Amino acid sequence: MSADTLLSRLDGVKRTGQGRWMARCPAHQDKRPSLSVRELDDGRVLVHCFSNGCSAHEIVSAAGLEISDLFPPRPDDPAQFGKPERRPFPAADILRAVAFEALVVGCAASAMLAGEPFTQTDRDRLLVAVGRIQAALDAGGLNHG
């Protein structure tokens, strides 16, 4: 879909620049244009309601469209997309895991600086922490060596 399809369903449309418009938001009783519409070079259409903060879903639904209508059609050939990036874990989960293991390493360093003896269990746990930090780097696609 191009922006024209959405714009044809809106009231009070006014062009504000190359690929940019303002219109009355269809998702609420808009008295004057508060909806920004922008068409990007790749065909995506961005919408933002400055008045009520209506969501993109509310806006396109009120215009009788689907959220997928804001994106260009996908080519039939999946090879055109290239190989999808594989990140099986959300970044926030990886950071939480690294933060916990860094705490373990920090406690070990503090104990070592205080001259406290390390048991074999302490050493084993420290090695587990190092291994988990390395695994987190791998999961985040950051371990290049």
pLDDT digits (tens, 9 = 90+) for 110-134: 999 999 998 999 999 999 999 888 8
Residue 16, helix vs strand vs coil: strand
Residue 96 in tokens: 């939480």
Distance between CA 49 and CA 54 in Å, rounded?
A: 6
Q: What is the pTM of this model?
A: 0.52
Q: What is the pLDDT of residues 11-54, one digit of tens each?
A: 999 999 999 999 999 999 988 999 999 999 888 999 999 988 89
Distance between CA 51 and CA 113 in Å, rounded?
A: 58
Residue 49 phi/psi, 5-degree rounding, is: -95, 115
CB 57 within 8 A of CB 103: no
Residue type, 55: S
